[in-house]
Amino acid sequence: MLTSFSPLARGFAFLLSLLALPLLAAEPDIELSGGTKSLRENIRQHLTLADESCKTPMWRLHARLNDAENEIAVAAQALGFYELEYKAKLRNDKECWGLDITLTPGEPVRVKEVRIEINGEGNQDEIFQTLYDKPGIKIGNRLNHGSYETLKARFGTLAAIHGYFDAEFEHSQISINTEERTAIIELIYNTGARYRIGEINLQHEILDEDFLRRYFNIAEGDYYDSDELLELKNLYNASNYFSVASIAPDLQELKDNKVTVNMQLEARKRREYSVGAGVDTDAGPRVLLGFEDRYVNPRGHSIAADINAADKKTTALLAYTIPMHRPAYEFLRIYTGYQKEITDTSTSHKDTFGTSYTYYQDNKWLQTYALDYEQEDSIIGSVSQVSTNLIIPSVAITRTKTDGSPYPLSGWTLLAKLSGSPESLGSDFSFVQLHLRAKYVKGFSFGRILLRSELGTTQLDDFSELPASVRFFAGGDASVRGYDYKSLGPTRDFSKFVGPLENPKLAEEVVGGNNLLVNSIEYDYRFEDSKWAAAVFFDAGNAANDTDLKVKRGTGIGARWISPIGPIRIDVAKALDGDEGVRLHISMGPDL
- Contact yes or no for 104/85 (Cβ under 8 A): yes
Give the pLDDT confidence score for residue 114 in this predicted structure.
95
What is the structure's pLDDT at 499?
A: 53
Average per-residue pLDDT in the chain? Answer: 90
Residue of 497, 535, 515, 517 whose CA lies nearest to 452: 517
Which pLDDT score, from 0 to 100, does residue 494 have? 61
Helix (H) / strand (E) element for 77: namely helix 58-77
Position 5 confidence tier, pLDDT thresholds 50, 70, 90: very low
Mean pLDDT of 178-187: 94
| pLDDT tens profile 130-180 | 999 999 999 999 999 999 999 999 999 999 999 999 999 999 999 999 899
Q: Is the pLDDT of residue 591 over 70?
A: yes
Whether 4 shows a pLDDT value over 50: the answer reads no
Least confident of 24-38, 263-277, 380-394: 24-38
Give residue-wise pLDDT tens across range 70-86: 999 999 999 999 999 99
- DSSP secondary structure letters along 217-257: S--TTSBP-HHHHHHHHHHHHTTSSEEEEEEEE-TTS-BTT
Instruction: Write down the pLDDT at residue 159.
Output: 95
Average pLDDT rounded to a whole number, residues 504-526: 87
Angstrom distance (rounded) from CA 381 to CA 509: 6
Q: Give the confidence band of 15 by pLDDT, cuts at 50, 70, 90.
A: very low
Task: Assess whether pLDDT exceeds 80 at residue 209.
Answer: yes
| pTM for the predicted model, two decimal places | 0.79
Mean pLDDT, rounded, for 182-188: 95
Residue 502 — very low, low, confident or very high, per pLDDT cuts 50/70/90?
low
Confidence of residue 363 (pLDDT cuts 50, 70, 90): low
Between 48 and 494, the more confident residue is 48
Which carries the bigger pLDDT value, residue 496 or residue 141? Answer: 141
- Distances in Å between the Cα of 415 and the Cα atoms of 117, 128, 475, 587 are 48, 38, 20, 20
Residues 562-585, mean pLDDT to the nearest whole number: 90
Residue 522, SS3 per DSSP: strand
pLDDT surpassing 50 at residue 2: no
Give the pLDDT mean for 20-36: 74
Name the residue among 336, 350, 268 with its Cα closest to residue 303.
336
SS3 letters across 553-579: EEEEEEEEEEECCEEEEEEEEEECCCC
| Residue range 212-241: mean pLDDT, rounded | 94
pLDDT at 3: 42
65, 162, 217, 560 from 526: Cα distances, Å: 51, 41, 41, 8
Is residue 267 helix, strand or coil? strand
Q: Tell me what pLDDT residue 7 has.
A: 47
Q: Give the three-state DSSP class for 167.
A: coil
Q: What residues have CB less than 8 Å from 484, skipping those under 6 apart?
A: 344, 475, 476, 580, 583
* CA angle, 500 then 505 then 508, to 5°: 80
User: 236 or 19: which carries more pLDDT confidence?
Assistant: 236
pLDDT tier, 521 (very low <50, low <70, confident <90, very high otherwise): very high
